[in-house]
Amino acid sequence: MAEKKGKKLLYTRAEMFELNKKILLKRGVSIEAIAEISYKQQSKYSDDVSRELCIESVEKILSLRDVFHHVQLACEIDRLAEEGKFEGPIQAIIYEDLGLFGIDETMGLDVSGLYGTIGQTNFGDIDVNKHGIVKRLNDAGKEEGICHTFLDDIVGAIAAAASTRVAQVLNEEIAHEDSGVKRFSIFDI
Ligand code: MG
């Protein structure tokens, strides 16, 4: 049955954050698990990386409208595929996670570049080497009745973007130390 028009379309950043957190948890993904990938990725380059900064970065990213749309759509596509709700060839292609199907990666690339092109390199690393929660999602997705085709990429992309934000924040701090200028909130990353 078709949905009635006129439903709520716009959500505040706080609402989008809560809705994203909720749907990710429903799909077995916590903010801490995403932040852990960013921490592992970024702590290779700097001793100043803290888990708090990684969690803050993931939380901030989860409150952005573009990311909200990506996360909500990705989780729903996987759920619908699990329930066999798509018609035609795309049902099996998504459900079986066909290797040559790349729309999940396209969505991931889009989100991972939020804080700079380097995010897409970070995403490539996570996609190929499957760190932490991304590996767990990937493995679980092979089981009967579970589809993580879009979820593993969106989660990897958020981790990659958070990783990039961490690098941006740390570099900004170094630049501020050098300039001696107090940080302006308008330029907060
Ligand atoms: Mg995938």
CA of 31 to the centre of ligand 1 (A): 19
Percentage above 90 pLDDT, the chain? 87
Q: What is the pLDDT of residues 124-135, one digit of tens each?
A: 999 999 999 999
CA of 79 to the centre of ligand 1 (A): 14
31 is written with which tokens?
A: 């903010």
Q: Where do runs of H (alpha helix) occur along 63-145?
A: 65-82, 90-95, 103-112, 118-129, 132-140
Sign, Cα dihedral of 78, 53, 162, 183: positive
Do residues 98 and 138 touch, judged by C-beta distance below 8 A?
no
CATH 1.10.3760.10 fits 12-178, yes or no: yes
Do residues 109 and 154 touch, judged by C-beta distance below 8 A?
no
Give the C-alpha separation, 21 to 9, whole Å. Answer: 18
Q: Taking the domains of the chain in order of start, what are their residue ranges?
A: 12-178
Q: Hey, is 84 helix, strand or coil?
A: coil
Do residues 107 and 157 touch, judged by C-beta distance below 8 A?
yes
Q: What is the pLDDT of residues 66-75, one digit of tens each?
A: 999 999 999 9
CA of 185 to the centre of ligand 1 (A): 37
CA of 45 to the centre of ligand 1 (A): 27
pLDDT of residue 185: 61
Tell whether the model's pLDDT for residue 76 goes beyond 80.
Answer: yes
CA of 103 to the centre of ligand 1 (A): 8
CA of 53 to the centre of ligand 1 (A): 27
CA of 97 to the centre of ligand 1 (A): 7
CA of 155 to the centre of ligand 1 (A): 10
Q: What is the pLDDT of residues 5-14, one digit of tens each?
A: 999 999 999 9
